[in-house]
Structure 1
């Protein structure tokens, strides 16, 4: 059976990449397999599709929430919300949602007073539930959002509030675990061996997705197929490792910015998940490729000029979905004032695909290296496959750079300043 994803790039032949990186990739792969690589304590994501932790319980709790609530607020920041929102947005209709599915809203990813106030106003008159996701329960942004929403839910639902709150947190410690155990909220575990940005295939991502009506079994099936397809240590047969190798080769030649590009509007949030995945995993020790993204063709009319003619330090990775379930034809006009009758035998999807290939050719001719990822269909199975592809590629790419893919030491710096400026008790003013 053909793989659901193909990778095409003309910068280096596969044979050249094998010669440059083959042995190093095999060594890194074998170290991950043996659990001896740096950060190996966070390699649990590699087996998630096959293990599907707490899947039955996830489905059961999701069904109860769907019965209770018209609106579900998911509280989290970073990997605690981006993965689920990326998949939801990628699979959701553009305009009308399924009437059986609750509305999914997010909080704790910002500190905007108007956002929170308007969210609370929006909940009035609607049956509500809350899913709060935090390993510690004390991360500033989601902790503030949960404190506010917990008070709102307690005032509104009284003793029955526990049926409407689910916590996803550490298995044994932390403020949120203590509160969940004391209050009797339903709860799930954030696995100790899976970091936040790799957690979309744990209950962190799966519960909100199941509540939203996403087929999480198909999502996991796609990821499970990817585990098998990307199990080889050989660049010549492992497209995730080929992607990692060509990225690092481009970086060595001075291309230090990668732009993820797609022509599918509902894929924009997936770009944000991808940026966190690679940005937090690679951007340390003065190293890393800067991850950026564009939504074409919209951004061809803004950033397209820079990509075509600006500084030659960037490369592009295009994601294409080969099949679409819906399309719209171009009508014929008797007057043809806009001159578009030459397109009347074509559909919008056909024109969109031609525009993508024309853009790739123009940018390549302008000196921008191009990587093309073609994904078979736009459904939960193929999104799951793509998630695992990027996770496997990201881990290998970071290891090739010589950094730990699974820590994020720089994230703490801004927090220290916040605590100092807000005069958090116990925080000492630095001289």
Structure 2
């Protein structure tokens, strides 16, 4: 079944799409230039052939372990978690006895101490993911896990470690060269939030036995149309990513500064968190952007949907569905009369009905909405979704006149945190911290 973008309730008639659509040729030229120069590996995936070979060679190594502890944060973890929950839900179900992926994506002493106390070191592989090799939240945990492995495994500790980092430089690359730790590269020019279909996300996917070839093939099916040297403005206007970009930019011009990602595929809920980083970190710049809001159907019908329906009219919605989800067991026939409408019906019919009802209600209440109707909840479709939304985000940024590939504001908080830990240099940040911490505080007990 085909994957569809349903634009029926997108409010196109109320948006100035023409001014953005008129820039299609400009965008096509920029795509040709950027992909030709190797600056958009998210789309061109020049690393795909080598990565598949590396992953095939990695299989015997990974099969030795029952547990994978992934150390990573942001784009180094969100994609892996989305794939785990979408395609390896059994880990969170009763009686699971297969491989287990644990993701340490925060400075959480409770969780880290639990991993150290309960994971069997000899059957655990620690995967550290940091392109720069300098992300302290990640590398700090690496230091602790390195010491833990050394304590339990002695000189063999490095055989239970795997590093995903820059191919040539950085602290973690130095660890590879010093200790002979198994490693896979993060390609150049591939930012974390765009990296799920590189070794960053594919190593944990391979460990859990996912169909990585289908994931990557689905992405290439969407991206190949954007990376051909013959791309024109006319063909670009027919691509879903550009249509979504023009819609997104036009929405922001009209004051729609929140973008809901409503997932009515329950196992794909974490793609909402992945999208939130992608959209926010790419587009929230120079006083511009729209706030991504992940939501899960039907759970959030009973919580935040009241705000979506009846709050400030500043929200648009990407509404993800799949008409081919499992049907599940049937409702019993001997139900009370007040529930007679579900007698003998498949349990899975209910989420389809709830999704339809919410989609109609949002549209009726003035929320511009595009339905992402996935033909299946398969790895290939997930790859297509990842490529579609990534490309749409890049194009939206270009239409807004900002760089969707950097994250300058995030760096300030990182520098201040390092200054608080008394890192060398950063004298200006240390002075700012001192002024902040010594200022008069308005403190009130509650």
TM-score, normalisation: structure 2: 0.89
- After the TM superposition, which residues 194-343 of structure 1 pair with which residues of structure 2 at under 5 Å, given as runs? 194-229=190-225, 233=233, 234=235, 236-333=237-334, 336=336, 339-343=338-342
Is the partner of 1:153 in helix, strand or coil?
A: helix
Partners of 2:263 and 2:321 within 8 A in 1: yes
Question: After alignment, is 325-334 or 187-196 more displaced?
Answer: 325-334
What is the deviation of 1:377? 0.3
Distance 1:36 1:56, change over 3 A: closer
Task: Measure, in 2, the Cα distance between the counterparts of 1:137 and 1:196.
Answer: 12
Distance 1:50 1:123, change over 3 A: closer
Task: Measure, in 1, the Cα distance between the counterparts of 2:23 and 2:226.
Answer: 16
Deviation per residue, 1:246-297 (Å, 9 max, x gap) = 1111111111100100122222211111111111110111111111111121
User: In structure 2, what is the equivalent of residue 415 of structure 1?
Assistant: 414
User: In structure 2, what is the equivalent of residue 350 of structure 1?
Assistant: 349
Task: Measure, in 1, the Cα distance between the counterparts of 2:425 and 2:254.
Answer: 47
User: In structure 2, what is the equivalent of residue 372 of structure 1?
Assistant: 371
Partners of 1:282 and 1:403 within 8 A in 2: yes
What is the deviation of 1:153? 1.1
Task: Measure, in 2, the Cα distance between the counterparts of 1:155 and 1:50.
Answer: 36
User: In structure 2, what is the equivalent of residue 58 of structure 1?
Assistant: 55
Partners of 1:70 and 1:126 within 8 A in 2: no
What is the deviation of 1:303? 0.8
What is the deviation of 1:362? 1.0
Task: Measure, in 1, the Cα distance between the counterparts of 2:51 and 2:103.
Answer: 23
Correspondence 1:153 to 2:149: yes
Question: After alignment, is 272-281 or 230-239 more displaced?
Answer: 230-239
Task: Measure, in 1, the Cα distance between the counterparts of 2:280 and 2:413.
Answer: 16
Distance 1:328 1:17, change over 3 A: farther
Distance 1:367 1:15, change over 3 A: closer
Q: Please, which of 114, 119, 132 is the counterpart of residue 123 of structure 1?
A: 119
Task: Measure, in 2, the Cα distance between the counterparts of 1:309 and 1:378.
Answer: 31
What is the deviation of 1:97? 8.6
Distance 1:126 1:153, change over 3 A: closer
Give the total of aligned pairs.
Answer: 424
Partners of 2:327 and 2:349 within 8 A in 1: no
Correspondence 1:48 to 2:49: no
Partners of 2:222 and 2:388 within 8 A in 1: yes
Partners of 1:42 and 1:195 within 8 A in 2: no
What is the deviation of 1:3? 4.8
Task: Measure, in 1, the Cα distance between the counterparts of 2:59 and 2:272.
Answer: 26
What is the deviation of 1:8? 2.4
Correspondence 1:25 to 2:21: no
Partners of 1:136 and 1:174 within 8 A in 2: yes
Is the partner of 1:129 in helix, strand or coil?
A: strand
Question: After alignment, is 46-55 or 233-242 more displaced?
Answer: 46-55
**Alignment RMSD (CA, Å):** 2.4
Unpaired runs of 5+ in structure 2? 433-446
User: In structure 2, what is the equivalent of residue 390 of structure 1?
Assistant: 389
What is the deviation of 1:348? 2.2
Task: Measure, in 2, the Cα distance between the counterparts of 1:136 and 1:253.
Answer: 38
User: In structure 1, what is the equivalent of residue 88 of structure 2?
Assistant: 92
User: In structure 1, what is the equivalent of residue 100 of structure 2?
Assistant: 103
Q: Please, which of 140, 162, 173 is the counterpart of residue 136 of structure 2?
A: 140
Partners of 2:100 and 2:208 within 8 A in 1: yes
Task: Measure, in 1, the Cα distance between the counterparts of 2:275 and 2:130.
Answer: 20
Distance 1:9 1:396, change over 3 A: farther
Distance 1:36 1:73, change over 3 A: closer
User: In structure 1, what is the equivalent of residue 435 of structure 2?
Assistant: none
